[in-house]
Amino acid sequence: MMNVDTDMVLIIVLLVVAVLVIFTLYNTAVVVPQRSEYVIERLGKFNRTLSAGLHFLFPFLDIVAYRRSLKEEVIDIGSQDCITSDNVMVTVDGVLYMQVFDSRMSAYGIENYKFAASQMAQTSLRSAIGKIELDRTFEEREALNRQVVSAIDEAAQNWGVKVLRYEIRDITPPQTVMEAMEKQMRAEREKRAEIAISEGDRQSRINRAEGLMTEAIRISEGEKQKLINEAEGNARQIELIAGATAKGLSDIAVALSKQGGETAARLRVAEQYVEQFGRLAQESNSLILPSDLGNIASIVATAMNALDQHRGGGTPSAKPKPIASDNPSTRSTSSAPTGSASGRQGERPTPPSSSDSTPSASSSSPFRGEVDSDF
């Protein structure tokens, strides 16, 4: 009976020892995660700092007093009311990014570094916004962020932390200010629109004016070139006509110098006289007629006399001999001055008959006989 009780006590003692060993090992063995540090105190005094890995503490004497993460931390800075230099109240909030680089200083340098950093960020931001106007708060965000970071860094030198950056999240002005700003922006947009429309109209007018100017210049240049071309064409035409006339006159002179040339010329003059007089009678009702209208031979002789004067150098060789006529009325008419159609309206000279206009057989011109036979 005594042996059984002894065995039971021994088992209980062993169990208690085992529990104490497990408890001690649990409290003395410490595993520190990556990018973390633990601050160890022995009997209430700083002993050492544990980095990442497995560590064993002195039982019942060493304790883990502080656990610090070396990762970058994000602290939300609550919204706060700030007054600008032009006495406008705005609501501002932001985000603070910081990192612990010395776990011992962060544990013993300040009670709560996160709370201290957030309060410092708020006070620094209020001070920075109070120096600028409302319109500049939206433009000077980067400058405000740098001022907040600089102020916290200067104050947190003994905290064992580093402020990486600060970002303003929202800047909210009062509703009345927002309405005024909206009206101002609307007016500015309308102003820019009006300016753009006026600039477009101005440019359009300039373009149209330049187009009309270019068109006028091109038209004037075209008219100028047209006149030049017409003048050159007319000059060329005159040159060609003059050349052709000179060549024709030369050919006529050569033809007249040949045998029978003068007779042919007389016949041609008579034909043209009759043709042109017929056209004149068709185009007008009032005519001015020569007194010797029926004496075609006299007219032909006058034309040939002018041709002889031209060939003789301008001096007539002999006075043109009038063609004899047996008709007394014809002889009296030839000596009279030329009459006009207005003086003898309704009267038309009666052409002489073939028997009256026939010249005498003793005429020396061979053309007279031919003309008389034709008419």
- Residue partners of 371: CB distance under 8 A and separation at least 6: 266, 267, 270, 296, 297, 300
Give strand ranges (E) for the chain.
29-32, 36-42, 45-50, 53-56, 62-69, 72-83, 89-100, 161-172
Can you give the pLDDT at residue 290? 62
d(CA 159, CA 326): 158
Same domain, 55 and 84: no
Among 79-83, 283-287, 324-328, the minimum mean pLDDT is found in 324-328
Band (225; pLDDT cuts 50, 70, 90) = very high
Residue 114 belongs to domain spanning = 71-173
Q: Tally the domains of the chain.
A: 3
Can you give the pLDDT at residue 347? 39
The total number of residues written for the chain in this structure: 375
Same domain, 80 and 164: yes
> Is 84 a domain residue?
yes
Residue 38 has pLDDT above 60, yes or no: yes
Contact 96, 115 (CB under 8 A): no
Same domain, 265 and 323: yes
Same domain, 121 and 139: yes
Same domain, 42 and 94: no
The candidate with the shortest Cα–Cα distance to 336, out of 266, 344, 284, 303, is: 344
Same domain, 279 and 320: yes
Contact 46, 104 (CB under 8 A): yes
Residue 204 has pLDDT above 90, yes or no: yes
DSSP of 16-49: HHHHHHHHHHHHHEEEEPTTEEEEEEETTEEEEE
Contact 167, 113 (CB under 8 A): no
Average pLDDT of the chain is 77
Q: Please state whether 259 falls in left (phi above 0), alpha (psi between -120 and 50) or beta.
A: beta
Same domain, 48 and 75: no
Residue 350 has pLDDT above 50, yes or no: no
Same domain, 21 and 120: no
d(CA 299, CA 292): 9
Among 19-33, 256-270, 331-345, the minimum mean pLDDT is found in 331-345
Which domain CATH number covers 133? Answer: 3.30.479.30
Band (156; pLDDT cuts 50, 70, 90) = confident
Q: Name the 3-class secondary structure at 94.
A: strand
Band (277; pLDDT cuts 50, 70, 90) = low
What is the CB neighbour count within 10 angstroms for residue 320? 15
> Is 183 a domain residue?
no
Looking at per-residue pLDDT, the higher value among 308 and 111 belongs to 111
> Is 182 a domain residue?
no
Can you give the pLDDT at residue 328? 39
Looking at per-residue pLDDT, the higher value among 51 and 11 belongs to 51
Residue 371 has pLDDT above 80, yes or no: no
**8-state DSSP, 359:** P
- What average pLDDT does this structure show over 360-375? 36
Can you give the pLDDT at residue 123? 92
Last residue of a domain, one of 143, 158, 173: 173
Can you give the pLDDT at residue 13? 82
> Is 205 a domain residue?
no
Same domain, 62 and 113: no
Q: What does the H/E/C string look like for 188-251?
A: HHHHHHHHHHHHHHHHHHHHHHHHHHHHHHHHHHHHHHHHHHHHHHHHHHHHHHHHHHHHHHHH
Last residue of a domain, one of 173, 201, 226: 173
d(CA 370, CA 282): 27
Question: What strands lie across the sheet with 62-69, from one edge to the other?
Answer: 45-50, 36-42, 62-69
Residue 181 has pLDDT above 60, yes or no: yes
Looking at per-residue pLDDT, the higher value among 368 and 276 belongs to 276
- What average pLDDT does this structure show over 136-146? 88
Can you give the pLDDT at residue 230? 92
Can you give the pLDDT at residue 285? 61
- pLDDT tens per residue across span 144-153: 999 999 989 8
Residue 8 has pLDDT above 50, yes or no: yes
CA atoms within 13 A on the CB side of 4: 1
Contact 134, 89 (CB under 8 A): no
> Is 195 a domain residue?
no
Residue 94 has pLDDT above 50, yes or no: yes
Contact 29, 54 (CB under 8 A): yes
Same domain, 298 and 333: yes
Among 215-229, 235-249, 272-286, 359-373, the minimum mean pLDDT is found in 359-373
Residue 113 has pLDDT above 50, yes or no: yes
> Is 369 a domain residue?
yes
> For the purposes of burial, counting CB atoms within 10 Å of the CB of 2, is it exposed (0-12), middle (13-18) or buried (19 or more)?
exposed
Same domain, 57 and 84: no
- What average pLDDT does this structure show over 296-318? 59
Looking at per-residue pLDDT, the higher value among 101 and 157 belongs to 101
pLDDT > 70 fraction of the chain, expressed in percent and rounded:
73
- Residue partners of 51: CB distance under 8 A and separation at least 6: 32, 37
Can you give the pLDDT at residue 307? 60
Amino acid at position 177, single letter: V
- pLDDT tens per residue across span 46-68: 999 999 998 888 887 888 999 99
Among 98-112, 176-190, 239-253, 305-319, the minimum mean pLDDT is found in 305-319
The residues facing 165 across adjacent strands are 97
Can you give the pLDDT at residue 357? 37
> Is 26 a domain residue?
yes
> Is 285 a domain residue?
yes
Same domain, 97 and 55: no
Last residue of a domain, one of 68, 100, 124: 68
- What average pLDDT does this structure show over 275-283? 68
Most confident of 215-219, 296-300, 309-313: 215-219
pLDDT > 90 fraction of the chain, expressed in percent and rounded:
33
